[in-house]
Amino acid sequence: MPALEIGQQAPDFTLPGVMVADGRAEQRHFSLRDMRGAPVVLAFYPADNSPGCTAQLCSYQSELAGFESLGAQVWGISRQDTASHESFALRQGLTFPLLADEKGDVVEQYGASMFGIGVRRSIFLVDTDGVLRWKHVALVGVKFQSAARIQEQLRMLDAPGDAGAVRDDAAS
């Protein structure tokens, strides 16, 4: 499948997921199409409860108010099932949705798959019209894009004269 390019319509999907509020988990389906009108940060990660992924998602949780102040939703996506996501979210206090792409179809559509580990640590920023405006697909490792870096890209969506033309960051 060809790489997803900046400026393309982001592939729509619907996946089962878990969201925790007030210490209780709710399982439901999440559809990217339903998010039109709000930017969405798609954070693909290799595995629940792994040290790197825990650090990454907990850092996004600690900065969730910053994402929300920019009108953005954050969705974590990995290949674990909803039971794994529920346990992970409750244990770590994650309140943004964790989506279960057990077959890996969405991971593949977004070019976030990698032989051996399954999912590359990747961020895709989808604008209010469902268009991909920024992405970072890591090669390997536990380094991840900081919440501050992602929020910087979100702010650029509304920059005067920018017309939402954000770029593709080189993988690292």
User: What is the C-alpha separation between 115 and 100, in angstroms, rounded?
Assistant: 19
Tell me, what's the pLDDT at 121?
Answer: 85
Tell me, what's the pLDDT at 159?
Answer: 57
Which residue's entry shows tokens 């593709």?
168
Tell me, what's the pLDDT at 171?
Answer: 46
In CATH, what class is 36-157?
alpha beta
Tell me, what's the pLDDT at 115?
Answer: 64
Tell me, what's the pLDDT at 35?
Answer: 96
Concerning whether 53 is annotated as a catalytic residue, the answer is yes
Tell me, what's the pLDDT at 80?
Answer: 95
Per annotation, catalytic residue among 18, 32, 53, 123: 53
Q: What are the residue boundaries of the structural domains of the chain, listed by start?
A: 36-157
For the chain of 172 residues, list the mean pLDDT of each consecutive stretch of 10. Answer: 84 98 95 96 94 93 96 96 98 97 94 76 94 84 80 82 48 44
Is there a contact between 108 and 1 (Cβ–Cβ < 8 Å)? yes
What crossing angle do the helices spanning 82-92 and 51-62 adopt, rounded to 10°? 60
